[in-house]
Structures are given as C-alpha cells and as structure tokens.
Amino acid sequence: MDIKVAEPFQSAGANINMDVAWDPGTDFTNTGSNGAALTSITTPVLGAGPALPLQARGLQAISGGATACTESECPGVASTTDRYWITKVVRPVTFVSAVTRGRVVIEGRPVCNRVDADFTCPPERPRS
C-alpha cells in the first residue's frame, strides 16, 4: 500500500516511525547518544536521550515525512512504486570506537476507521 495515500495510513491515529540504533555488541548501546552516563530524563517533551535510538516520526505524513523514491534516490530497485526514503542526522555523537553495524526498525500502526462499500479494511494477518 502507498503510505501517503492508502486510507489505513491516512486515518486518524495511524502512524509510521523509523528507529535507527548503532554500536551493537550483545545489545545496542548507541554509544555517543546524548548522556553517556545514562542519567534519567525527567522531561515529558520528546527529544534526544541517553543511549536511545534515533527516531524519525510520521513517515506517512502527506507533507514532510518520507519522500517518494526516484531512480536516482533509490538506485538498484526493480520499481520505485510505493517506495520512500528519509535522511536523519545522528548527533551529537562521538563514537568511542568505529561503528561498523547498525539496525533500522520500522514501527507503526495502520488504522481502519470505517468499512463501507467503497473501502474494506485489509485482512488481519495471523501473529507468529
């Protein structure tokens, strides 16, 4: 589905985020995140924190969010249809050692607010 057009991604409450973590060993330490001492963050405001992954929120937003791929921006893919890209700067980061691996996770929720003759919610997939 096209996240910028499909109703389950454009309905109230729908959201798609991308998390980027780095510096894996037995776990992701995200060395160099804000607050190397891993002290508590006591503010309810969203933002950078100690050893937290970088997050890009609202990828499905019509304005902003992810950008539709073109052949030059997404080289080597068979089709650019329904493919998007984002950039995010990781800072302030001072890597203690060379970071050679990372991980990206896409999280979110499509929302189906109605069922009528013009729209049917996608079927639920069984959980594994």
pLDDT at position 66, please? 92
Confidence at residue 69, expressed as pLDDT on a 0 to 100 scale:
92
Give the largest Cα separation in the chain, rounded: 58
Give per-residue pLDDT as tens, 1-27: 788 988 888 888 899 988 887 766 656
How far is residue 2 CA from its own chain's centroid? 15
Q: What's the mean pLDDT in 101-106?
A: 81
Per-residue pLDDT reduced to its tens digit, 61-89: 988 889 999 999 999 999 999 999 988 77
pLDDT mean across residues, the chain: 75
Query: What span, in angstroms and rounded, lies between the C-alpha atoms of 15 and 83?
Result: 16
Q: Structural domain of residue 106, as residue ranges? A: 1-128
Our count of domains for the chain comes to: 1
